[in-house]
Amino acid sequence: MNKLCVFLLIGFFSVAGSAQVKDSTKAALNNFIDAWHLAAANAQFDSYFDKMHKEATFIGTQADEIWDKQAFMRYAAPHFRAGKAWHFEAFNRKINGNQNTYWFHELLKTAMGVCRGSGVIIKTEDGFLIKQYVLSYTIPNALGKQVVLFKKEKDNIFLKENYKKSVTNQQSNN
């Protein structure tokens, strides 16, 4: 019993400690993420996409916006060419992780108002790379019912086109 308790305590502190990121690593990650956002603000296509892993996923604000890197590049290219990509100013960013994998969330000042970004970054031989990023609108809870009613028709259309496919795929994979 005592050995089990010691083992569990060691395991607990190993896991709890793994989420702590060194200040120097946190500073490097903050600089990396800020540079990624700045590349978009300056419409620097190569600089922006070079910071994303070849198997990266960008999840946008719409239910159907789940892009692999190549699809996201095709979507974004006209915006970058026009010099009008997006400008996100991050604040209130929190970073956690362990060894070679880091996850973060941040609030963003954007043309769409306050948004939330969250992502996963991996450390490779070539440095940090974004593996996944999720962009979300923030909606005050007091406005939640209004927003739900406002988008209900669009959601119903989306669900008719996609939900059954998803359920069918889940059932066939089990």
Higher pLDDT, 7 or 107: 107
- Does residue 8 surpass a pLDDT of 90? no
Query: What local confidence, expressed as pLDDT, does residue 5 receive?
Result: 46
This prediction has a pTM of 0.82
pLDDT digits (tens, 9 = 90+) for 42-95: 999 999 999 999 999 999 999 999 999 999 999 999 999 999 899 999 999 999
HEC per residue, the chain: CHHHHHHHHHHHHHHHHHCCCCHHHHHHHHHHHHHHHHHHHCCCHHHHHHCEEEEEEEECCCCCCEEEHHHHHHHHHHHHHCCCCCCCEEEEEEEEEECCEEEEEEEEEECCEEEEEEEEEEEECCEEEEEEEEEEECCCHHHHHHHHHHHHHHHHHHHHHHHHHHHHHHHHHC
pLDDT digits (tens, 9 = 90+) for 119-140: 999 999 999 999 999 999 999 9
Domains in the chain with CATH codes: 18-138 (3.10.450.50), 141-174 (no CATH)
Query: What local confidence, expressed as pLDDT, does residue 13 receive?
Result: 47
